[in-house]
Amino acid sequence: MVLKIINATEAKVGAMILVDNEPYIVKSNDVSKTGKHGHAKCRILATGVFVDRKKVITIPGHDRFDVPMVEKKRVQILSVNGENASVMDLESYETIDVPIHADARGSAETDKQAEVWDIEGKKMLMRVL
Q: How confident is the model at residue 97 (pLDDT cuts 50, 70, 90)?
A: very high
| Cα(11)–Cα(40) distance, integer angstroms | 14
The fold of 71-128 is: OB fold (Dihydrolipoamide Acetyltransferase, E2P) (2.40.50)
pTM, two decimals, is 0.80
Task: Give the pLDDT of residue 54.
Answer: 92
Please, are residues 111 and 80 in contact by the beta-carbon 8 Å criterion? no
Mean pLDDT value across the chain: 88
pLDDT digits (tens, 9 = 90+) for 37-84: 778 889 999 999 888 889 998 988 888 988 998 899 999 999 998 889
Please, are residues 122 and 129 in contact by the beta-carbon 8 Å criterion? no
Task: Give the pLDDT of residue 44.
Answer: 92
The fold of 2-68 is: SH3 type barrels. (2.30.30)
Please, are residues 125 and 99 in contact by the beta-carbon 8 Å criterion? yes
**Category of 102 on φ-ψ map: left (φ > 0), alpha (ψ -120 to 50) or beta:** alpha
pLDDT, mean of residues 104-122: 87
Instruction: List every span in the chain annotated with CATH 2.30.30.30.
Output: 2-68
Instruction: List every span in the chain annotated with CATH 2.40.50.140.
Output: 71-128
Look at residue 1 and tell me whether its pLDDT is greater than 70. no
Look at residue 3 and tell me whether its pLDDT is greater than 80. no
